[in-house]
Amino acid sequence: MSDAPGNIACAEESERLERKQTDRDADSVLQATCALANDLGDSRRPGYLVLGVDKTGVAVGVDTSDEAIQRLVNRLTSTRILPNPSISVTPHTPGPRGVLLVRVDPYPVPPVVLVDGVAWVRVGATTRRATEADLVRLRERRPENAMPFDQRAVAAASVDDLNVVLLRKKYDEVAGTDAESGTFPAFENWLAQKEITRRTPAGWRPTGAGLLIHGLAPQMFVPGATVEFVRYGGMDFDAPVAARKTIIGTLPDQMDSLWAQLQAHLVEVPAGTDGIRSLYAPQYPLEALKELARNLLQHRLYEGTNAPGRVSWMEDRVVFNNPGARFGGASEGEFGAHSDYRNPTITRFLVETGHVERLGRGIRRVRAALEANKNPPLEVESDGFLTVTVWRRP
């Protein structure tokens, strides 16, 4: 198939090309993109989603305006599809009612691309939910020892170390509302498809992400997966300790506890007057502190270290410190300019629990919140640890 837009728009449906008459069905568009990104046949060639052409090849047209293209791009780079595949959208026969070509490059290596936690694949001219055999086929492209920590099986743990009661309840809820209930996987296979567990020669074992998000006692297997919150009664680490809390449990529970600590210690200070009214402003914008707490748990290094994450609150600053330097593409340029995920499955789970709302924009939002609150700029140091310092509002 030639990459010329006209040839793609007119080509027959295949394993690497799907037509859709409309772009209005968000689920269908996301599932097709996911399937092309997973490239079950290992073609290693771009796939194409053609919007505005019916199944017989007749162009019926969709909105190809700049605004429509931007909406589509936003949908295809949202947190519903993770990890985000590489896509580009171009109009063919531009105009109010033309054809849109979505190019989808195969995801270079697993993890498998998922939509709302479900993998989709393209088989012949059909997009369908991935079977367990499909997932094994996709995962075999990446040896177990080359996978991120959060996707590997934890040999010392068993399924009984997960909160099976809550997971079974979630499974029943999802299975009961699934449009394809007849093909919905069994509970054990669903856990594996969600990357909560992985099959090993010794049987089903929880993944690192499964234990940290759904474990009954995650610190039994990942001792360093804790946060030390310390409030100092001075301006340096030698000052007396005014309050201290060790935060344990699952990562969602840790995040909720850490947010509560940050909110409890935050106070407002005088910020001038407006006529006869005295104005007050927080020492630090709470949302900025919460975003940095997200990063502390989402992006830290969990493997090969027993060091906890630390939040040190002093009289003039709050210091966030966690194991692991800046990772991959995120190590390039200014802190926060680029996104990359040391823990891609943990990130996806935190999106599903609502603890991570936006991907790739958090640090920019922190900088904007600090500027609006008149705090000094962030200070960032990265060696074997990442240290982020937020200075108090003058």
> Which helix (H) or strand (E) is 141 found in, with range?
none
- CATH code: domain 5-129 is 3.30.950.30
**Percent composition of the chain: helix, strand, coil (DSSP 3-state, to 5):** 35, 25, 40
Instruction: Encode 214-278 in three state secondary structure.
Output: HECCHHHCCCCCCEEEEEECCCCCCCCEEEEEEECCCHHHHHHHHHHHHHHHCCEEEEEEECCEE
Q: Tell me if 72 sits within 8 A of 20, measured CB to CB.
A: no
Residue 335 has a pLDDT of: 64
3-class SS of residue 228 = strand
* CA–CA separation, 62 and 90 (whole Å): 12
**At how many degrees (to 10) do helices 66-76 and 26-38 cross?**
60
Label residue 49 left, alpha or beta by phi (over 0 means left) and psi (-120 to 50 means alpha). Answer: beta
Residues of the chain with pLDDT under 70: 1-7, 9-10, 94-97, 110, 142-145, 179-182, 270-278, 327-340, 358-360
d(CA 137, CA 341): 23
- Residues sharing a CB contact under 8 Å with residue 161, sequence separation 6 or more, in sequence order: 206, 211, 215, 216, 217, 220, 221
Q: Which fold has domain 227-391?
A: Heat Shock Protein 90 (3.30.565)
Residue among 35, 38, 4 nearest 18 (CA): 35
What is the DSSP code (8-state) at residue 69? H
Q: By three-state DSSP, how is residue 4 classified?
A: coil
Domain positions in the chain are: 5-129, 143-220, 227-391
Check residue 3 and give its pLDDT.
Answer: 57
- Residue 311, pLDDT score: 97
Measured in degrees and rounded to the nearest 5, phi and psi for residue 9 equal -60, -30
Across 342-356, b (16+ Cβ under 10 Å) vs e yields bbbbbbbbbbbeebb
Per-residue CA distances from 281 to 203, 272, 275 (Å): 56, 9, 16
pTM metric for this prediction: 0.71
Sheet order of strands, 99-104 included: 17-20, 47-51, 99-104, 87-92
The tokens for 307 are 């060091």
Q: Rounded distance, CA 219 to CA 211, Å? A: 9
List, for residues 343-388, the tens digit of each pLDDT value: 889 988 998 888 887 566 778 899 999 999 999 999 999 877 899 9
The alpha carbons of the chain give a radius of gyration, in whole angstroms, of: 24
CA 125 to chain centre: 30
Residues 6+ apart with CB under 8 A from 70: none
* Sheet with 317-323: strands ordered across: 241-247, 227-232, 309-313, 317-323, 385-391, 379-382
**DSSP bridge pairs for 206:** 197
pLDDT at 346: 92
